[in-house]
Amino acid sequence: MQNTNLKRRNVLKFAALFAAVPFIDVLTSRGHLLAGTIVKFSTKLVQNGEVLTAAHWGMLKLTIKDGVLTKSEPYQKVSGLENSLQHHTQDLVYAKDRVKYPMVRKSYLKDPNNPKPELRGSDEWVRVSYNDAIKLIASQLKKTRKDKGAESVFAGSYGWKSSGNMHNCRILLHRFMTATGGFTGTVGDYSTGASQVIMPHVLGTLEVYEQQTSWPIVLEHSKAVVIWGANPAATLKIAWTASDDYGLKYLEELKNSGKKIICIDPFKTETCEYLNAQWVAPVPNTDVALMIGMAHSLIEAKKYDKEFLEEYTEGFDEFKDYIYGKKDKVVKSAAWASKICGIDEKTIKELAVLFFENTTMFMSGWGMQRAHHGEQTHWMLITLASMLGQIGKPGGGFGLSYHYSNGGVPTAKSAIVGGITANVTANENAEGAEWLQNAAKFSFPVARVADALLNPGKKIQFNGKEITYPEIDFIYWAGGNPLVHHQDTNTLIKAWRKPRTVVVNEAFWTPTARMADIVMPTTTSYERNDITGTGDYSNLNIVPMKQAVKKQFESKDDYQIFSDLAKEFGVHKEYTQNKTEMEWIEEFYTKAYDQAVKMDMKIPKFREFWSKNEPITFGTPYENTQFVRYADYIEDPILDPLGTPSGRIEIYSKTIEDMNYDDCKAHPSWLEPAEWLGMKKKTAEFALITPHSTHRLHSQLNNTSLREKYAVANREPVWINTKDAKAKGIKSGDIVRVFNDRGQILVGAIVSDEVRESVVKIDEGAWYDPMERGKIGSLCLNGNVNVLTKDIPTSKLANGNSSNTALVNIEKYTKAAPELSMFKQP
Ligand SMILES: Nc1nc2c(c(=O)[nH]1)N[C@H]1C(S)=C(S)[C@@H](COP(=O)(O)OP(=O)(O)OC[C@H]3O[C@@H](n4cnc5c(=O)[nH]c(N)nc54)[C@H](O)[C@@H]3O)O[C@H]1N2
Ligand SMILES: Nc1nc2c(c(=O)[nH]1)N[C@H]1C(S)=C(S)[C@@H](COP(=O)(O)OP(=O)(O)OC[C@H]3O[C@@H](n4cnc5c(=O)[nH]c(N)nc54)[C@H](O)[C@@H]3O)O[C@H]1N2
Ligand SMILES: [Mo]
């Protein structure tokens, strides 16, 4: 039903678009005149009217009055679910904390050779001219490369950015570094650090960034849907490119489908509430035990699919021996699991049987793999799904990306726009060509950044290889907010003060910008032209992102900054290929245009597309609405084997066994986390979970009026269970100090039964705001949860971050709480 609807709607849109668009040939970018009319082409700013753009949170319609951005609305409304992020563009553009001018830290400006890094975060700022800033960065970068080698320049620069295939700040930084002599980068990400390394061993693919069995199939065939450690009502508001909005639409259809829905999460999420689901709340970090208990129950009840396990998986017998404690003499039954995860035995058994007897889709998020031994969670989930025997069948199995970037929204028949790349040929002026090899040698897992800064020369294990940390002396960051996103902020600050130079390109005075030596003011994406696709898996639209307002203050595009820096290195031509912003955008569009022509689809030529202020929406072929993940493999495991050594789902991995790691065994195992509620000598009283906020994208938008929707006592909220709050004398609205031996933060209390007892929830992404500027251990006034999290790798296998593994204490804060110093000029 839904699928045909969706299809028809898109087809209609598609048809309507072309009915309205007469085909005209226009000037190409090279000024080569083709036949036909010349379409007027203008990049002049709209003074009064509406401008179409896109952000991670969807296509946006911006209202401009007398050159001022006054309103931001969703371009389309496809579901009843509200996307709170879509209304605050004007707050970003006109934020009080915009970086207005190039700024240099006083001691650094005085003597870059003796820059007093210990003053990073507390020193005064000095305004300099743009040209002086460019010259300073260039000369210091040259010096570092000359004295310490290319590997001492760290430009991993992990993080988000803004939508747009042209002004992609991190890629632009890498392009610059590549063109001028090299840098040390990183591997992996914070999102799926553990899963993306273990999944290839188990399934032969990354799995976490792959198209899912389509939503229409789920709606038609699944009997039960388990939302396991995910909060799609919040996380589907965004996409890496730009949201196509249909993820939320399908969530709405799931709600209306009347299916059995179960949410397994220590927090009763907004998704759980919205879907009216059964809430099952395990102790944080114990899902693997819970799943093993279910596995045991299934074997005992003889309700598991032996044929499936034999035909499609490898090593179930070894895993079964582990369940029955052949070596450790511990039978891992539901009773055993119950003691660890806090779910009663009966529920464990009942759920297991329910999953077996009904076509069940496990939709898992990523929060539970962002934990110590996080590799085990999805490995065990897939083992459990294998026992149910429903993988590759309509409506059954598992999906690790339904909650992200519109996963499961059927893939359209679309043409894909190109984008800027880091691949640029360095000319003879560039220093060193062997750096590429070196850089590859020195790249380290992204979440090890503080460890790497603190311990140059240290060797670590990573997925069967050894990595040696380089000695980092220069950091360049463009896009990303490490002083908020990285675990254990106080240790990071120590690490951050090791290099001689830190440069940050930012639009706002974020905690990271405040910890730099040189801050370059950048435009927001609403102050430049760009282009993007939407829906990372659906590829539903191509959107012109038109500049809405003039560049604020002295802000520059990252492209401009890196082009000007490239000039200092004599590689301006290589960097820019002598192309303007609009010429690049036209080139990226033309890639899509050429594909469209090859596929016999007609889309307008560039100038026409650009002048129309409308997205191109592609149609979705019926067969894509019927996509079932792993159907090919299940149909013919010989002809369509998986990319694992055995060609099958590896419940037991010889490859991992050969690595001989104590923290990641050859099959999924329950391994005690370093800090958790069940540990013998607890280091603190409460387990801390740190999910993603429904009203931000990480730290983005924390500096907008959206904050009024969620802040409590003008700080980030903490959810505390009613009983726990009572015991501590805390009421809703109180200011609470949350602390452990790593740090302390102030937050505002929400007392509620939506969080499991002995667990507190604080969303990641609140800007770090130390009461005493630059002081390690200072109280964070705004509630950046990473002040409290633990900076340990998930295991030697993946070295992912463990941001959901931490214990904390709480107390009512009775002193006068100081005002924030963030969200304004420093
Ligand atoms: N405790 C805990 N910590 C976590 C997580 C967790 O679950 N718990 N999640 C982790 C995850 S999954 C992630 S992905 C990270 C996210 O961490 P980040 O990606 O660092 O978070 P953002 O706040 O999105 O940072 C993006 C920054 O880029 C800037 N920016 C935007 N556009 C531009 C541009 O055009 N040019 C420049 N120069 N800058 C721009 C924004 O202003 C913003 O400061 O956090 C991780 N940290
Ligand atoms: N609105 C919004 N959307 C976003 C983002 C954002 O910042 N804001 N960030 C985007 C990015 S970069 C990413 S990587 C994804 C993140 O997507 P996810 O990683 O899936 O999101 P989280 O909120 O970190 O975690 C999902 C759920 O896991 C639960 N959880 C935590 N620990 C455990 C546990 O031990 N067991 C169980 N069963 N559940 C647990 C949390 O309570 C939470 O409800 O979201 C993306 N979408
Ligand atoms: Mo992420």
So what's the pLDDT on residue 35?
36
Nearest residue by C-alpha to atom 12 in ligand 2: 191
So what's the pLDDT on residue 436?
58
pLDDT tens track for 301-339? 999 999 999 999 999 999 999 999 999 999 999 999 999
**Tokens 């076509």, residue?**
359
**In which band, very low, low, confident or very high, does the pLDDT at 437 lie, cut at 50, 70 and 90?**
low
At 733 the three-state DSSP class reads: coil
Over residues 424-429, the mean pLDDT reads 57
**In which band, very low, low, confident or very high, does the pLDDT at 704 lie, cut at 50, 70 and 90?**
very high
Nearest ligand to the C-alpha atom of residue 291: 2
Query: Which of these ranges, 363-367, 439-443, 447-451, 664-668, has the smallest mean pLDDT?
Result: 439-443
Does the CB atom of residue 269 touch ligand 2 within 6 A? yes
Does the CB atom of residue 692 touch ligand 2 within 6 A? yes
Phi first, then psi, for residue 210 (nearest 5°) are -125, 150
Pick the CATH number of 686-812 from 2.40.50.100, 3.40.1160.10, 1.10.101.10, 2.40.40.20: 2.40.40.20
Over residues 415-421, the mean pLDDT reads 96
Burial of 245 (0-12, 13-18, 19+ CB in 10 A): buried
So what's the pLDDT on residue 40?
54
Over residues 406-420, the mean pLDDT reads 97
Which of 235, 487, 707 to mutate to test ligand 2, by most ligand atoms within 8 A of the CB atom?
235
Query: Which of these ranges, 354-368, 433-447, 538-552, has the smallest mean pLDDT?
Result: 433-447
CB 805 within 8 A of CB 792: yes
**In which band, very low, low, confident or very high, does the pLDDT at 280 lie, cut at 50, 70 and 90?**
very high
Over residues 595-614, the mean pLDDT reads 94
So what's the pLDDT on residue 423?
83
Distances (CA, A) of 199 to 205, 226, 420, 600: 6, 20, 29, 37
Distance between CA atoms of residues 242 and 481, nearest Å: 20
CB 382 within 8 A of CB 649: yes
Domains 215-407+641-659 and 686-812 share a fold: no
pLDDT tens track for 172-194? 999 999 999 999 999 999 999 99
Query: Which of these ranges, 33-42, 679-688, 692-701, 812-821, has the smallest mean pLDDT?
Result: 33-42
481 known member of a binding site:
yes
Query: Counting runs of H as helices and runs of E as strands, what totals does the chain give?
Result: 29, 29
**In which band, very low, low, confident or very high, does the pLDDT at 442 lie, cut at 50, 70 and 90?**
confident
What atom of ligand 2 comes closest to residue 160's alpha carbon?
A: 12
So what's the pLDDT on residue 439?
65
Domain positions in the chain are 215-407+641-659, 686-812
CB 604 within 8 A of CB 21: yes
pLDDT of residue 18 exceeding 90: no
Over residues 809-825, the mean pLDDT reads 96
Nearest ligand to the C-alpha atom of residue 555: 1
**How many A from CA of 795 to the centre of ligand 2?**
20
CB 193 within 8 A of CB 180: no
User: 87 Cβ partners below 8 Å, 6+ apart?
Assistant: 72, 73, 706
Higher pLDDT pick, 513 / 31: 513
DSSP classification of residue 98: B
Over residues 152-180, the mean pLDDT reads 96
Which of 85, 196, 692, 699 to mutate to test ligand 2, by most ligand atoms within 8 A of the CB atom?
692
pLDDT of residue 166 exceeding 70: yes
**In which band, very low, low, confident or very high, does the pLDDT at 43 lie, cut at 50, 70 and 90?**
confident
Instruction: Kindly provide the b/e burial profile for residues 389-408, where b requires at least 16 CB atoms within 10 angstroms of the residue's own CB.
Output: bbbbbbbbbbbbbbbbbbbb
Burial of 25 (0-12, 13-18, 19+ CB in 10 A): middle
Question: Which homologous superfamily is 215-407+641-659 in?
Answer: Dimethylsulfoxide Reductase, domain 2 (3.40.228.10)
147 known member of a binding site:
no
Does the CB atom of residue 62 touch ligand 1 within 6 A? no
Over residues 793-819, the mean pLDDT reads 97
**How many A from CA of 366 to the centre of ligand 2?**
6
Which of 212, 265, 340, 405 to mutate to test ligand 2, by most ligand atoms within 8 A of the CB atom?
265
pLDDT of residue 519 exceeding 80: yes
**In which band, very low, low, confident or very high, does the pLDDT at 456 lie, cut at 50, 70 and 90?**
very high
Burial of 347 (0-12, 13-18, 19+ CB in 10 A): middle
105 known member of a binding site:
no
**How many A from CA of 806 to the centre of ligand 1?**
21
Tell me if residue 158 is catalytic.
Answer: yes
Over residues 385-393, the mean pLDDT reads 98
Over residues 156-185, the mean pLDDT reads 96
541 known member of a binding site:
no
So what's the pLDDT on residue 6?
35
So what's the pLDDT on residue 696?
98
Does the CB atom of residue 781 touch ligand 2 within 6 A? no
**How many A from CA of 746 to the centre of ligand 1?**
21
User: What pTM, to 2 d.p., does this model score?
Assistant: 0.95
So what's the pLDDT on residue 424?
82
Over residues 555-564, the mean pLDDT reads 98
So what's the pLDDT on residue 41?
64
**How many A from CA of 190 to the centre of ligand 3?**
6
pLDDT tens track for 223-271? 999 999 999 999 999 999 999 999 999 999 999 999 999 999 999 999 9
pLDDT tens track for 110-149? 999 999 999 999 999 999 999 999 999 999 999 999 999 9
Displacement of CA 310 from its chain's centroid (Å): 36
Does the CB atom of residue 786 touch ligand 1 within 6 A? yes
Nearest ligand to the C-alpha atom of residue 446: 1
pLDDT of residue 426 exceeding 60: no
**In which band, very low, low, confident or very high, does the pLDDT at 42 lie, cut at 50, 70 and 90?**
confident
Which of 99, 137, 190 to mutate to test ligand 1, by most ligand atoms within 8 A of the CB atom?
190
So what's the pLDDT on residue 462?
97
**How many A from CA of 693 to the centre of ligand 2?**
8
Tell me if residue 160 is catalytic.
Answer: yes
Does the CB atom of residue 739 touch ligand 2 within 6 A? no
Higher pLDDT pick, 37 / 298: 298
Residues β-bridged to residue 440: none
640 known member of a binding site:
no
At 45 the three-state DSSP class reads: coil
Nearest residue by C-alpha to atom 23 in ligand 2: 691
Does the CB atom of residue 506 touch ligand 1 within 6 A? yes
Residues β-bridged to residue 748: 717, 735
Does the CB atom of residue 230 touch ligand 2 within 6 A? yes
pLDDT of residue 340 exceeding 80: yes
What atom of ligand 2 comes closest to residue 700's alpha carbon?
A: 7
Nearest residue by C-alpha to atom 31 in ligand 2: 367
**In which band, very low, low, confident or very high, does the pLDDT at 31 lie, cut at 50, 70 and 90?**
very low
Does the CB atom of residue 377 touch ligand 1 within 6 A? no
370 known member of a binding site:
yes
Nearest residue by C-alpha to atom 29 in ligand 1: 479
Does the CB atom of residue 513 touch ligand 1 within 6 A? no
pLDDT of residue 76 exceeding 70: yes
490 known member of a binding site:
no
pLDDT of residue 284 exceeding 90: yes
Of 108, 125, 160, 304, the catalytic one is: 160
What atom of ligand 1 comes closest to residue 160's alpha carbon?
A: 19
User: 632 Cβ partners below 8 Å, 6+ apart?
Assistant: 392, 640
Instruction: Kindly provide the b/e burial profile for residues 298-320, where b requires at least 16 CB atoms within 10 angstroms of the residue's own CB.
Output: bbeeeebbeebbeebbbbbeebb
For residues 728, 729, 730 and 731, what is the CA-based torsion angle, rounded to 10 degrees?
150
So what's the pLDDT on residue 573?
95
For residue 569, give the amino acid letter. F
Does the CB atom of residue 267 touch ligand 2 within 6 A? yes
Does the CB atom of residue 63 touch ligand 2 within 6 A? no
Distance between CA atoms of residues 456 and 473, nearest Å: 10
What is the chain's mean pLDDT, rounded?
93
Of 158, 476, 496, 589, the catalytic one is: 158
